[in-house]
């Protein structure tokens, strides 16, 4: 799936759409995102040493991971973070890097989904952790159409 196809599933839009492409294969989803040189989240983080914030790396993992939730459940619901567990940051990510995420659904009991995800750059682990999502009816969210 490319960015336009992802927009039919994910509610995110620029500048918060942090996935360029995704492929679901069996129990895994593999996603990629190339960090723009002028990304808004590195402009002041940090001057002279632009490093991608950890929270953004978690968001990159999350956006790709949502594709593990059955699409029919995403029609009337939005996946929101329910928690992050055991997140470990191993290496920094910089503008120009392509972040490659691999995620697998560990457990699900509607409306809750638990995912194990990891992000690498050039095969080197940068962050990994357990992500929890809860599906919330779109009708309950202000501003969601």
Distances (CA, A) of 99 to 6, 87, 131, 141: 17, 16, 17, 30
Taking the chain, what is the end-to-end CA distance rounded to the nearest angstrom?
Answer: 23
Q: Per DSSP, what are the bridge partners of residue 98?
A: 34
Asked if 130 is an active-site residue, the reply is no
Structure tokens of 61?
Answer: 């993992």
Buried b (16+ CB within 10 A) or exposed e, 44-73: eeeeeebebeeebbbbbbbbbbbbbbeeee
Q: Could you say which of 7, 45, 104, 130 is catalytic? A: 45
Query: Which is nearest to 97 in space by CA: 116, 122, 70, 119?
Result: 122
Q: Which residues have a catalytic role annotated?
A: 45
């Amino acid at each position: 799936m490319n960015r336009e196809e992802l927009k039919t599933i994910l509610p995110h839009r620029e500048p918060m759409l942090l996935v360029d492409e995704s492929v679901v294969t069996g129990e895994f989803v593999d996603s990629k995102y190339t960090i723009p040189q002028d990304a808004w989240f590195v402009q002041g983080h940090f001057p002279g040493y632009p490093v991608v914030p950890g929270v953004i790396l978690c968001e990159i993992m999350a956006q790709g991971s949502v594709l593990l939730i059955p699409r029919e459940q995403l029609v009337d619901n939005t996946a929101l973070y329910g928690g992050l567990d055991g997140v470990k940051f191993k290496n920094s990510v910089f503008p120009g890097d392509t972040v490659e995420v691999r995620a697998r659904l560990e457990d699900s009991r509607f409306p809750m989904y638990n995912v194990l995800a990891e992000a690498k750059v050039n095969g080197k682990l940068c962050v990994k952790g357990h992500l929890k999502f809860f599906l919330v009816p779109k009708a309950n969210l202000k501003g969601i159409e």
